[in-house]
C-alpha cells in the first residue's frame, strides 16, 4: 500500500485536512499520514489549541469530517523514509527541515496557514487542499 505523508507547520490545519480528504477519496487504498515540522512536543491534540481552531473544525465539519479529536504529530526522518510521497503544505514562513526539502519524493504546495483566520479564508484553503488532493490521487 502506498503511503503519503502530508506535512505542514503544526499539523493542526493544512496537513490534517489533506489527510482526511485523501482517506475519503482513496477509500483506504492509500495510507495517508499527517505531521508537522514545529510542535512544542511530539504529540498534542487539536483541542489543546482552543478557540484558534474553531473555524478550522467548522470548515471541516461542513465537509462531514471531524478533526477536532485528532492528534497532532511531529514529523521525523523515519516517517519521511517510509513515505512513497511527501507533500509539504507550507508557505514562506514555515520551517521545513532539509531532510524533507531534499527528499526526492517531496513536492511543495504553497498554501497559507488558516489557523486563527476567518471562516471564509479557512474555507478557501480547505477547497484548495481538496482539489490538490484529488489531483494527487489521479497522478498516483
What is the rounded average pLDDT of the residues 113-119? 92
76: cell is: 521525523
What is the C-alpha to C-alpha distance for residues 33 and 35, in angstroms, rounded to an integer?
Answer: 7
- In our burial notation (b when 16+ CB lie closer than 10 A, e otherwise), range 50-82 reads eeebebbbebbeeeebebeebebbbbeeebbee
What is the C-alpha to C-alpha distance for residues 25 and 119, in angstroms, rounded to an integer?
Answer: 24
- The angle formed by the CA atoms of residues 38, 66 and 47, to the nearest 5 degrees, is 45
Task: Report the first-to-last Cα separation within the chain, whole angstroms.
Answer: 12
Beta-sheet pairing, 106-110 with 85-90: parallel
pLDDT digits (tens, 9 = 90+) for 32-84: 999 999 986 777 777 777 777 889 999 999 999 998 889 999 999 999 999 99
pLDDT band at 92 (very low <50, low <70, confident <90, very high): confident
Cβ(125)–Cβ(111) under 8 Å? yes
pLDDT band at 119 (very low <50, low <70, confident <90, very high): very high
pLDDT band at 104 (very low <50, low <70, confident <90, very high): very high
Q: pTM of the prediction?
A: 0.94
What is the C-alpha to C-alpha distance for residues 71 and 47, in angstroms, rounded to an integer?
Answer: 9
The topology under which CATH files domain 2-130 is Rossmann fold (3.40.50)
96: cell is: 521545513
What is the rounded average pLDDT of the residues 2-10? 95
How many Cβ atoms sit within 10 Å of the Cβ of residue 9?
A: 21
Amino acid at each position: 500500500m502506498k503511503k503519503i505523508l502530508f506535512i505542514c507547520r503544526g499539523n493542526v490545519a493544512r496537513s490534517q485536512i489533506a489527510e482526511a480528504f485523501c482517506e475519503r477519496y482513496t477509500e483506504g487504498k492509500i495510507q495517508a499520514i499527517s505531521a508537522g515540522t514545529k510542535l512544542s512536543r511530539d504529540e498534542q491534540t487539536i483541542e489543546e489549541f482552543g478557540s484558534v481552531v474553531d473555524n478550522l473544525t467548522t470548515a471541516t465539519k461542513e465537509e462531514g469530517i471531524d478533526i477536532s479529536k485528532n492528534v497532532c504529530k511531529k514529523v521525523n526522518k523515519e516517517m519521511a523514509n517510509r513515505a512513497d510521497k511527501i507533500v509539504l503544505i507550507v508557505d514562506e514562513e514555515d520551517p521545513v527541515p532539509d531532510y524533507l526539502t531534499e527528499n526526492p519524493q517531496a513536492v511543495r504546495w504553497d498554501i497559507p496557514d488558516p489557523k486563527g483566520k476567518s471562516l471564509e479564508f479557512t474555507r478557501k484553503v480547505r477547497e484548495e487542499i481538496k482539489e490538490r488532493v484529488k489531483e494527487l490521487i489521479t497522478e498516483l
